[in-house]
Amino acid sequence: MPPPRRVVIVAFPGVELLDVTGPAEVFSVATRVVGQEGAGYLVQIATAAGGELLTSSGLRMVSDLSLDEVDGRVDTLLVAGAIAQDGENVEAVIDETVSAWLRRGEPRARRIGSICAGAHLLADAGLLKGLRATTHWLTAAQLAADHPELRVEPDPIFIRSGRVWTCAGVTSGLDMALAMVAEDHGQAVALATARMMVMYVKRSGGQSQFSVPLSVPGPSDDPLEALCRWIGEHPAEDLSAEALAARMNLSARHFSRQFGRRMGSTPASYVEAARLEAARRLLEESDMSLPEVAASSGLGSVKTLHRSFQRRLRTTPAEYRRRFR
């Protein structure tokens, strides 16, 4: 029987527990599914000094090895993440020890990935330069602002750019790991793994199913933050770049540039996401028909409603209502 594929998950103090254990469990279950018919996975947790580690939940885990002991062949290297929140301020945690280790030259891994805010560590180490990437929707704007050389996309559950993978918030690490299993062993093994774990083999929803307005900080004197809250509260208004710029007393060009720098997306993309959020809530909470949902959410027509759901959530409005209502 061929040797197992070695998966090393890098963790650090304060890491999100599920960022580590979620993918680890997917690879473990896939190993049981593969059985004697092929190579499964050997999962190891690596930390700066090895030993015990306190996670963000207060639970402790014990690593298998220190970062300096990560030598030899590594099939898949994953970097977990952490998010710090102080009142209204939310930001990704950059563990300097892990970043420095990655900058010195990550082990020769066939595949590299990040879970949740771990993308910030890969970016800090220069491993995402020029690539498409995603991260937790709460820190996507921070990633875009800190690393303008990246193409940050806050909607997908995960993104693959060559041998580098990034995924969204917490549980999306399971989806990414499942996709890796499919790449390694085929769709049948991935499907059997998903069934054993009672999870979708491929989720129809993306990160946009989460609340767009929640990605905007609470009340403050910042006019751009106030505008974003107003957009979420008035999706059916005229939300063209020109109209929004007028509300800010700025030229459309200057407004678009300032908005992109602060929010990590174009005004049009943000407005569509906010309108999709409004439509999503109406589908979940009301008996409105699809034409009524399209009108009330500002998307206008059922055709536009369908197009937005397909592009951003990879599903239809009717399927979404059946699944999430």
Extract the tokens encoding 185: 């062993």
Calpha distance 227→203 (Å, rounded): 32
Q: Which residues of the chain have pLDDT under 50?
A: 214, 217
The residues near 198 (Cβ < 8 Å, ≥ 6 apart) are none
Q: How far apart are the first and last CA of the chain?
A: 47
Predicted local distance difference test score (pLDDT) of residue 214: 46
Predicted local distance difference test score (pLDDT) of residue 216: 52
Predicted local distance difference test score (pLDDT) of residue 296: 96
pLDDT in tens, 80-125: 999 998 887 899 999 999 999 999 876 679 999 999 999 999 999 9
The residues near 53 (Cβ < 8 Å, ≥ 6 apart) are 11, 12, 13, 15, 47, 60, 61, 62, 63
Calpha distance 251→246 (Å, rounded): 7
CA dihedral 77, 115, 79, 32 (to 10 degrees): -40
Extract the tokens encoding 301: 């027509």
Please list, residue by residue across 159-198, b when 16 or more beta carbons sit within 10 angstroms of its beta carbon and e when fewer do.
bbeeebbbbbbbbbbbbbbbbbbbebbeeebbbbbbeebe
Could you give all domains of the chain from N- to C-terminal order, each with its CATH number? 5-203 (3.40.50.880), 210-324 (1.10.10.60)
Predicted local distance difference test score (pLDDT) of residue 325: 65
Predicted local distance difference test score (pLDDT) of residue 106: 66
- Amino acid sitting at position 131: L
Pairing of strands 41-47, 65-66: parallel
Predicted local distance difference test score (pLDDT) of residue 156: 85
Say how far residue 85 (Cα) sits from the centre of its chain. Answer: 17
CB 306 within 8 A of CB 316: yes
Say how far residue 84 (Cα) sits from the centre of its chain. Answer: 16
